[in-house]
Amino acid sequence: METGKADCSSENQDRILVVGYSCFDLIFSAPRFPEEDSMSRAVDYHKRRGGNASNSSTVLSQLGAKPEILAVMTDDEYGKFIQDDLKKNGIIFENCPVYAKTETPFTNIILSLSAGTRTILHYRPKDYPDNSVDDFRKLTLSKYKWIHFEGRGIPEVLKMIDVLDGWNSSHIEKKILYSVELERCHDDVKKLISKGNVVFVAKEFAKFLGYTCATSTLQGLAPLVQPGATIIVPWGEQGAVARSGDGEIIRSSAYPPKAVLDTTGAGDTFIAATIFYLSNNKTLFEAIDFGNKIAGAKCGMVGYLGIN
């Protein structure tokens, strides 16, 4: 195992770290979703770096932040594509472990141009490693002003949060704010509800918990988060609703694009833009409204370049 390299040695507390997953996406745009066992033509295709943390890092970079990703890297053909693309986008990945002889996770995505849907088929190689607390311990935490944890590999993420909480309690003046993302519909993801200054809850996860709208999700989860934590629930074309640490409910409507071309990563885009604003001391309303604006713009374009 070796470590990826990038050229950032600054000790300023100016980086936003995103801890999560990176994979290779092959995206087809089709007039409509194909019939099973049929042959049809796509109108376009794109190769892209994907995965929640990877997508959010791209958006942060487009917005002018200084993003770093902590994700497992590979060195096969697709792994090299991912590392080249991180470099091109100015995303720091110097602390990512690189696993030789490990296949890169691969996603096939079909975008239906008539329905605006995205259908995802994901391949995760057997025994693909998760991020580990050992990798997290190697970070110089004083470089980060915000850390976002994508909710996967929960046992290790909980250990990382313990390390971060420990660091924060001995560096009161440099406290690092952090957020968690509840999206994957697994029981162990519930363990993240009580963690973080900001808890992002995806609508899939809210439905998994039995909630039917963003507001009931906020009401149901409010007693379970840390005292003073903010809960944010993005809800597709309805926009987003948030509950501040002192219980105020804040809403912002979506910004629908002229045509929905690619909703892949809409949630990751929303999270990145919202964190970008929160980490720059904007209000909660300004932050979720900016999240909706940037995520809406993203839905109207393929990919992320030029999103701002």
In the complex, the residues that contact ligand ADP under the rule CB under 6 A are 202-203, 234-237, 239-240, 254-256, 260, 263, 266-267, 270, 292, 295-296, 299
Please identify which residue in the block is written with the tokens 């990038």.
6
Q: How far is the CB of 16 from ligand ADP (least distance, A)?
A: 19
Helix then strand count (H, E) for the chain reads 8, 15
Closest separation in Å from C-beta 37 to ligand ADP = 28
CA angle, corner 133, sides to 130 and 134, nearest 5?
A: 105
Phi-psi bin for 247: left (phi > 0), alpha (psi -120 to 50), beta? left
Q: Which is nearer to ligand ADP, 97 or 267 (CB)?
A: 267
Residue 233: CB minimum distance to ligand ADP, A? 8
Quote the least distance from Cβ 229 to ligand ADP, whole Å. 19
Tokens 């929905």, residue?
A: 260
Would you say 147 or 294 has its CB closer to ligand ADP? 294
Task: With beta carbons less than 8 A apart as the criterion, state whether 146 and 276 touch.
Answer: no
Instruction: Supply the minimum distance, in Å, between the C-beta of residue 197 and ligand ADP.
Output: 20
Distance CA 43, CA 254 (A): 28
Q: Residue 90 or residue 236: which is nearer to ligand ADP going by CB?
A: 236
The residue count for the chain: 308
Show the tokens assigned to 118. 């995205």
Closer of 164 and 232 to ligand ADP (Cβ) = 232
Q: How far is the CB of 256 from ligand ADP (least distance, A)?
A: 4
Give φ, ψ of 152 to 5 degrees.
-145, 150
For ligand ADP, the closer CB: 83 or 230 = 230
- The Cα–Cα gap between 103 and 123 comes to 10
* Structural tokens at position 179: 């957020």
Contact 243, 253 (CB under 8 A): no
- 15-19 vs 73-74, strand pairing mode: unpaired
Instruction: Output the residue with the shortest Cβ distance to ligand ADP.
Output: 267
- Put the strands of the sheet holding 2-3 in their side by side order: 2-3, 97-99, 73-74
CB of 297 to ligand ADP, least distance (A): 9
Give 88 or 186: the residue with its C-beta nearer to ligand ADP. Answer: 186
Q: Which is nearer to ligand ADP, 60 or 295 (CB)?
A: 295
